[in-house]
C-alpha cells in the first residue's frame, strides 16, 4: 500500500517523485479499451532529464526547471519565490485578482467538497497531490506564515510548512496539473476558487521568477507579440494558407469561397484561433462558406495578433494577457468594424468576451460575441437550406469549459445540433456540469518530456470515458461517429487522446468543429463535405 | 452572578461586530478585479435562466440591460445561506452535520435578537410572546449547535478526506462551540437556574444580580469569547460568501462608471514584478506595461 502523501511532504528533500502513477492505481479505463496495462502509466523520464531538471513531483515534467547547481542558487530561487509570493498579495502587483485570491486564502474550510468534482483527482485514482485543495493548502500555509507573518498561533490555526527549494520546484510543476476548468469552484459551498489559486501560483513563477512552460510563453505569447500568431505564421503566411483553404473549400463544396481581408467598416471581424488554419483548416473554411452564404459583410484581419484569437496569457501571466488582448481589440478599432466574433476557441471567448472587459476603454469596447451564437442565428434565419440527413451519424458534443461552464453559452450549439444532426446525443454529465477535456488551462499544448502521456492517462481519462459512453450503442469501427468540439484546445487534446488510445482505429470516432457540421448539412454544398480521415 | 457576565456578553458581541466590520472593510477595499466570474446570476431574468445559460447566448447581448438581484437570485441566496443548499447538493454526508451546526448558530442569533427585542418591549403584553419565541430559538439553537459541532469534529477526525487537512485550530474552534453549548445546557437543567425572562433581563440590562449555575456562567463566557473570535478565523466565511458568491460573481460584465474610475486607479499602479518580460523597471504603470511589447526586452528562444 502506498504511503499517504501529506502537505508537509512537498518540502521533502530528496529527488524521488512525491507520487508514482501506476496504471492499476488509476481510475479504470473504459472496458471497451480492453485489459488494463500493468506497471507505470507514464513513459519513464529520460535519465538526462531527471539529472538536470526538477522532476520530483509525479514522474512527469512540464516545465523543465534546471536543477540549481549550489545551495546558494537554491536560496536565491527560494528568495525570489518568496518575493513573488509577497507581491501576489499587494494591490500594486496583483489588483487583477487580489480580491478573489484573499477570499479563497482566508475562507476555505477545507471541507473537500471540491475534490470529487475534479476529473484529474478522480482519474488519478485519487492521488492526494491532485486534490484541488492540496496545492492550495500549501499556498495557504505559506501565505499565513510568510505574508501574514503568523507565528505559533497561526501555525496552530492554519498549519505549518517548511519553505525550501524542493517545495518551490514541486509547486511550480503542480500549478500545471490543473486544467483551470473551475469545476471545483462551481461546487464550492462557500465560493472559494481553488482553480484561481492554481492560476495565481503560475503568476508567481512567471511574473517574478520567469518560469513558465515554453509552449505558453516563448512559443506562445511572446511569439504572438513578435510575429502576430502563436503558430509562428506572419501575416503573409496566413494569407497564403487561407487562400489555399479557400481553393480547397471551393473544390469541396462546389461554391465560390473567398475570404475577405482587412475590410474597413465590416459588420463582423472574425478572429479564429490561428492554430485552426494549420491543424483544422476545414473549420475556418466552413466559416467562410457559411458567412458568405448568409450574406454577412465580414472580414479577417492581417494585423499583428488580429488573426489569432489565442491569448495564452490568460493562463499564466497578467501582463502578457493584457498585452495580447489589447492588441486584438486595437486591431478591431483600427478596422472600424461593428462587431468582433470569436471563432471556435474556448479560452479566446473568455479572454475577449469576459476578462478583458474592464480594462478596455470605451473606444476599445467594441461589441463582441461568440461565433456559436452567430451560427445559431444563421441556421435559424432560413438563409441556408439545410439537409439534416447528411449528418445522419452519431454525434456527441464536447462542452468547452470556458464557453459553457464559465460563460454559460449552453443552448445555441445544442439548438444547431438538434436542427442538423438527427443522431445527436449528450455526454453525461454535460452543460455546465461537463468535464474538461483534459487540455484546459493551456495543458493541451504542453508536450515536454512525457507530459503528453500524463494528459492522456490522467487529465483526459474522464473525457475519454464520457465520449465512449456517449457512443456505447455504436462502438466499433463499422459506424463513423463524430465528437463536435467547438474549441481548438479541446480538439487538440481530443486528437492526442484518441491517438494515444487508438480510438480512430478501434472505434472510428472523428472529432471536429461545429461549423463543419453546418456546412456538411447545406443542401447547396456537394455531399460529403466531411472528410472521414484521421487527422 | 457578578457584572462580569453581562460585560463578557457585550464585549464578545462588540468584538464580533467590530471584527465583522473590519473583515468587510478589508474585502471592500481590495481593488476591483478583472472579471473572473462563473456566469451568470442564477436568477438572471432572461430566457436562458431555465437551462442555466447567460446573456452571452445572444448575439446582441451588449445592448440588453441585465437585471441583477432578481427575486430568483435572492431566493437562491437565502436557500444557500439558511439551508446550505449548495452543500446539500454536493456533499450530503457533511451537510448532515454542517446544517444543524449552522442552523443552531442562526437560531442562537435569532434567540439573542428576540431577547433584546423582548427587553425593549417588556412593558407590553407582546413581550411574553417574544420571550417565548426567544426561549424556543435559544434552546433549539443550543442543541443543534452542540449536535452539529460534535458531528463536524467527529468527521474531521475520522474522515480520511478531511483528516489530513484538519489542523488543531479546526478542532478547538468546534470544541469551543460544543463546550459552550454543553455547559449552558447542563447548567440550565439545574434547579437553581432562574426563569428564562429573568435571566435575559439580568444578562442584558445590568439591572439585577442573579445567581446562575456555575456551568452556565462558564458556558456563557466561552460562548461570548467564541463570538468575538469568529471574525478572525475562517469561520467568517459567511462574510466572504456574501461578497464573492452573491455580489462579485453576480456582477455582470457591463462597464459601469464606478468600475471605470477604479480601473483607471488600478492601471496607474506601478508593479514591481521582476521577470524580464514584464519590463516593470519599477517606474512603469500597469497601463504602460499593457501597451508595451516585451519583445525588445527578451530574446525569443526557438
- Are A210 and B280 in contact, with CB atoms under 8 Å apart? no
Q: Which of A200, A85, A352 is nearest to B35 (CA)?
A: A352
CA A251 from chain center: how many Å?
Answer: 33
Map residue A215 onto helix, strand or coil.
coil
| CA–CA distance, A303 with A229 (Å, rounded to integer) | 10
The C-alpha cell that represents A417 in the structure block: 445540433
B contact residues 96-135, partner A, Cβ 8 Å cutoff: 98
Domains identified in chain B and CATH numbers? 4-32+84-232 (1.20.950.20), 268-297 (no CATH)
Nearest to A194 by CA among A182, A179, A205: A182
User: Which residue of chain A comes nearest to B294, CA vs CA?
Assistant: A222
Residue A468 in grid coordinates: 465512449
* pLDDT at residue A134 in the model: 97
C-alpha to C-alpha distance for A80 and B20, rounded to whole angstroms: 35
Query: Left (φ > 0), alpha (ψ -120 to 50) or beta: where does A112 sit?
Result: left
Query: How confident is the model over A159-177, as pLDDT tens digits?
Result: 999 999 999 999 999 999 9
Q: Could you give the 3-state DSSP secondary structure of residue A472?
A: coil
Strand partners of residue B108: none
- What three-state secondary structure class fits A522? strand
Asked if B84 has any chain A CB less than 8 Å from its own CB, the reply is yes
d(CA A444, CA A455): 8
When CB atoms are compared, the residue of B51, B86, B243 closest to A411 is: B51
Per-residue pLDDT, A352: 94
Q: Say how many Å lie between the first and final Cα of chain B, rounded.
A: 79
User: Phi and psi at residue A339, in whole multiples of 5°?
Assistant: -145, 155
Residues of chain A numbered 3-62 and touching chain B (CB < 8 Å): 4, 6-7
- Residue A481 DSSP SS3: strand
Residues 6+ apart with CB under 8 A from A175: A135, A198, A201, A202, A205
SS3 A308: coil
Kind of pairing between the strands at A424-425 and A395-397: parallel
Q: Say what the pLDDT of residue B253 is.
A: 44
C-alpha distances in Å from residue B37, one per residue of A91, B29, B246: 19, 19, 11
What are the distances in angstroms from CA A76 to CA A87, A164, A165, A206? 17, 11, 9, 16
What would the pLDDT profile of B18-58 be if each residue is shown by its tens digit? Answer: 999 998 888 888 898 888 765 544 444 445 566 778 888 88
**Which residues in chain A land under pLDDT 70?**
1-2, 31-32, 34-37
Per-residue pLDDT at B43: 43
**B250: pLDDT strictly greater than 70:** no
The answer to whether residues A196 and A183 touch, using CB atoms and an 8 Å cutoff, is no
Phi, psi for A158 (deg, rounded to 5) = -120, -10
In order of A141, A154, A156, A325, B171, the CA distances from B168 in angstroms are 14, 11, 6, 46, 5
Best interface-test mutation with B: which of A151, A319, A400, A404 has the largest number of B CBs within 10 A? Answer: A319
- Say whether residue A237 is in contact with chain B using an 8 A CB cutoff: no
> Hey, which residues 408-437 in chain A have their CB within 8 Å of chain B?
408-412, 431-432
- What is each CA distance from B299 to A202, A206, A310, A444, B61, in whole angstroms? 21, 16, 21, 25, 41
Q: How far apart are CA A72 and CA A181, in angstroms?
A: 38
Instruction: Please answer yes or no on whether B59 and A214 come within 8 Å at the CB atom.
Output: no
More confident residue, A507 or B253: A507
Instruction: State the alpha helices, DSSP H only, in A59-207.
Output: 71-88, 91-94, 98-107, 119-123, 132-142, 152-158, 165-174, 183-187, 194-203
Q: How far is CA A108 from the centre of its chain?
A: 25
**For residues A295 and A297, what is the distance between their CA atoms, to the nearest angstrom?**
7
Three-class HEC string of chain B: CCCHHHHHHHHHHHHHHHHHHHHHHHHHCCCCCCCCCCCCCCCCCCCCHHHCCCHHHCCCHHHCCCCCCCHHHHHHHHHHHHHCHHHHHHCHHHHHHHHHHHHHHHHHHHHHHHHHHHHHCCCCCHHHHHHHHHHHHHHHHHHHHHHHHHHHHHHHHHCCCCHHHCCHHHHHHHHHHHHHHHHHHHHHCCCCCCCHHHHHHHHHHCCCCCCCCHHHHHHHHHHHHHHHHHHHCHHHHHHHHHHHHHHHCCCCCCCCHHHHHHHHHHHCCCCCCCCCCCCCCCCCCHHHHHCCCHHHHCCCCC
DSSP-derived letter for residue A525 is: S
- Chain B residues with CB inside 8 Å of A367's CB? 60, 62-63
Task: Give the HSE-up count for residue A398: Cα atoms under 13 Å, Cβ half-sphere.
Answer: 37
The residue among B206 and A268 whose pLDDT is bigger is A268
B28 to chain A, any CB pair closer than 8 A? The answer is no
Residue found by looking up cell 433584546 in the block: B116
Task: Report the candidate in A124, A211, A151, A147 with the shortest Cα–Cα distance to residue A175.
Answer: A211
How many residues are given for chain B?
302
Indicate the CATH number of A228-377 among 3.40.50.300, 3.40.50.1860, 3.30.300.30, 3.40.50.2300. 3.40.50.1860
Check residues B282 and B214 and name the one with the higher pLDDT. Answer: B214
A298: part of which helix (H) or strand (E)? strand A298-299
- Contact list in A for residue B33 (CB cut-off 8 A) is 95-100
Phi, psi of A177 (to 5 degrees): -115, 25
Interface touch B57/A409, C-beta < 8 Å: yes
A217–chain B Cβ distance below 8 A for any pair: yes
A126 half-sphere exposure, CB direction, 13 A CA radius: 10
| Residue B10 preceded by cis peptide, ω within 30 | no
Band of residue B299 on the pLDDT scale cut at 50, 70, 90: very low
A191 and chain B in contact, CB less than 8 A = yes
Enter the DSSP assignment of A59. Answer: S
Query: Nearest C-alpha of chain A: how many angstroms from B80?
Result: 8
Backbone region of residue A489 per phi and psi (left: phi > 0; alpha: psi in -120 to 50; beta: other values): alpha
pLDDT of residue B49: 60
The complex's ipTM?
Answer: 0.92
Alpha-carbon distances of B179 from A234, B1, B109, B136, B157, rounded to whole Å: 70, 20, 18, 20, 17
Cβ of B39 within 8 Å of Cβ of A93? The answer is no
Q: What does the alpha-carbon distance between residue B137 and residue B103 come to, in Å, rounded to a whole number?
A: 10
pLDDT in tens, B121-165: 988 999 999 999 999 999 999 999 999 999 999 999 999 999 999
By DSSP bridging, strand A395-397 and strand A268-271 are unpaired
Query: Is residue B116 very low, low, confident or very high in pLDDT (cuts 50, 70, 90)?
Result: very high
The grid coordinates listed for A5 are: 502523501
**pLDDT tops 60 at residue B172:** yes
Amino acid at each position: 500500500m502506498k504511503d499517504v502523501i501529506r502537505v508537509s511532504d512537498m518540502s521533502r528533500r530528496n529527488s524521488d517523485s512525491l507520487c508514482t502513477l501506476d496504471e492499476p492505481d488509476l481510475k479504470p479505463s473504459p472496458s471497451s479499451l480492453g485489459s488494463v496495462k500493468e506497471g507505470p502509466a507514464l513513459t519513464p523520464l529520460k535519465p538526462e532529464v531527471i539529472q538536470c531538471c526538477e522532476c520530483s513531483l509525479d514522474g512527469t515534467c512540464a516545465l523543465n526547471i534546471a536543477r540549481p547547481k549550489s545551495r546558494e542558487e537554491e536560496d536565491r530561487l527560494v528568495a525570489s519565490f518568496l518575493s513573488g509570493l509577497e507581491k501576489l498579495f499587494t494591490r500594486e502587483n496583483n489588483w487583477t485578482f487580489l480580491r478573489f485570491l484573499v477570499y479563497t486564502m482566508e475562507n476555505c474550510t477545507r471541507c473537500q467538497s471540491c475534490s470529487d468534482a475534479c476529473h484529474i483527482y478522480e482519474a488519478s485514482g485519487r492521488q492526494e497531490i491532485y486534490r484541488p485543495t492540496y496545492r492550495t493548502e500549501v499556498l495557504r500555509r505559506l501565505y499565513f506564515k510568510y505574508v501574514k507573518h503568523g507565528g505559533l498561533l497561526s501555525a496552530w490555526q492554519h498549519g505549518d510548512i517548511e519553505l525550501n527549494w524542493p517545495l518551490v520546484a514541486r509547486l511550480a510543476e503542480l500549478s500545471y496539473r490543473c486544467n483551470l476548468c473551475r469545476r471545483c469552484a462551481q461546487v464550492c459551498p462557500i465560493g472559494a476558487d481553488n482553480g484561481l489559486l492554481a492560476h495565481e501560483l503560475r503568476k508567481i513563477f512567471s511574473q517574478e521568477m520567469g518560469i513558465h512552460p515554453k509552449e505558453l510563453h516563448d512559443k506562445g505569447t511572446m511569439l504572438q507579440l513578435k510575429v502576430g500568431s502563436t503558430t509562428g505564421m506572419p501575416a503573409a503566411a496566413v494569407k497564403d494558407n487561407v487562400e489555399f483553404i479557400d481553393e480547397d473549400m471551393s473544390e469541396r463544396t462546389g461554391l465560390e469561397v473567398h475570404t475577405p481581408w482587412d475590410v474597413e467598416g465590416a459588420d463582423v471581424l472574425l478572429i479564429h484561433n490561428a492554430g485552426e488554419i494549420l491543424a483544422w483548416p476545414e473549420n475556418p473554411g466552413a466559416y467562410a462558406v457559411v458567412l458568405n452564404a448568409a450574406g454577412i459583410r465580414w472580414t479577417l484581419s492581417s494585423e499583428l495578433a488580429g488573426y489569432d484569437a489565442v491569448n495564452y496569457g490568460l493562463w499564466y501571466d497578467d501582463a502578457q494577457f493584457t498585452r495580447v488582448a489589447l492588441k486584438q481589440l486595437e486591431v478591431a478599432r483600427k478596422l472600424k468594424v461593428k462587431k468582433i466574433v470569436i471563432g471556435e476557441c474556448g479560452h479566446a471567448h473568455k479572454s475577449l468576451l469576459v476578462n478583458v472587459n474592464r480594462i478596455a476603454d470605451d473606444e476599445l469596447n467594441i461589441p463582441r460575441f461568440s461565433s456559436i451564437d452567430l451560427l445559431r442565428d444563421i441556421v435559424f434565419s432560413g438563409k441556408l437550406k439545410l439537409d439534416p440527413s447528411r449528418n445522419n451519424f452519431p454525434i456527441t458534443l464536447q462542452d468547452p469549459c470556458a464557453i459553457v461552464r464559465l460563460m454559460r453559452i449552453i443552448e445555441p450549439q445544442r439548438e444547431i445540433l438538434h436542427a442538423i444532426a438527427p443522431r445527436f446525443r449528450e455526454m453525461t454529465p454535460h452543460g455546465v456540469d461537463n468535464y474538461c477535456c483534459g487540455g484546459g488551462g493551456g495543458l493541451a499544448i504542453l508536450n515536454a518530456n512525457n507530459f503528453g502521456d500524463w494528459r492522456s492517462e490522467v487529465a483526459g481519462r474522464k473525457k475519454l470515458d464520457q465520449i465512449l459512453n456517449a457512443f456505447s450503442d455504436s462502438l466499433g469501427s463499422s459506424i463513423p461517429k463524430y465528437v463536435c468540439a467547438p474549441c481548438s484546445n479541446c480538439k487538440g487534446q481530443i486528437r492526442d487522446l484518441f491517438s494515444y488510445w487508438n480510438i480512430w482505429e478501434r472505434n472510428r470516432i472523428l472529432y471536429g468543429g461545429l461549423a463543419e457540421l453546418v456546412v456538411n448539412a447545406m443542401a447547396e454544398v456537394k455531399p460529403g463535405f466531411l472528410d472521414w480521415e484521421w487527422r | 452572578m457578578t457584572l462580569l457576565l453581562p460585560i463578557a456578553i457585550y464585549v464578545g458581541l462588540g468584538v464580533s461586530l467590530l471584527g465583522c466590520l473590519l473583515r468587510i472593510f478589508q474585502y471592500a477595499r481590495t481593488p476591483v478585479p478583472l472579471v473572473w466570474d462563473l456566469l451568470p446570476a442564477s436568477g438572471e431574468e432572461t430566457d436562458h435562466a431555465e437551462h442555466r445559460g447567460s446573456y452571452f447566448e445572444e448575439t446582441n447581448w451588449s445592448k440588453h440591460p441585465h437585471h441583477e438581484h432578481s427575486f430568483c437570485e435572492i431566493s437562491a441566496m437565502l436557500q444557500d445561506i439558511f439551508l446550505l443548499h449548495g452543500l446539500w447538493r454536493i456533499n450530503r454526508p457533511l451537510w448532515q452535520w454542517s446544517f444543524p451546526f449552522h442552523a443552531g448558530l442562526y437560531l442562537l442569533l435569532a434567540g439573542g435578537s428576540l431577547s433584546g427585542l423582548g427587553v425593549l418591549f417588556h412593558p407590553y403584553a407582546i413581550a411574553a410572546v417574544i420571550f417565548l419565541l426567544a426561549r424556543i430559538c435559544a434552546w433549539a439553537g443550543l442543541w443543534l449547535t452542540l449536535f452539529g459541532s460534535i458531528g463536524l469534529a467527529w468527521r474531521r477526525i475520522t474522515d480520511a478526506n478531511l483528516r489530513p487537512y484538519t489542523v488543531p485550530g479546526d478542532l478547538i474552534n468546534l470544541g469551543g462551540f460544543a463546550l459552550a453549548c454543553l455547559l449552558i445546557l447542563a447548567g440550565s437543567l439545574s434547579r437553581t437556574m432562574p426563569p428564562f425572562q429573568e435571566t435575559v433581563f439580568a444578562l442584558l440590562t445590568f439591572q439585577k444580580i442573579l445567581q446562575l449555575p456555575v456551568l452556565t456562567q462558564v458556558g456563557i463566557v466561552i460562548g461570548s469569547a467564541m463570538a468575538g473570535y469568529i471574525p478572525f478565523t475562517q469561520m467568517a466565511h459567511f462574510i466572504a460568501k456574501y461578497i464573492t458568491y452573491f455580489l462579485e460573481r453576480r456582477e455582470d460584465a457591463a462597464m459601469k462608471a464606478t468600475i471605470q474610475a477604479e480601473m483607471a486607479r488600478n492601471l496607474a499602479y506601478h508593479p514591481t514584478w521582476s521577470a524580464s518580460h514584464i519590463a516593470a523597471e519599477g517606474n512603469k504603470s500597469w497601463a504602460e506595461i499593457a501597451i508595451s511589447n516585451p519583445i525588445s526586452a527578451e530574446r525569443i528562444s526557438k
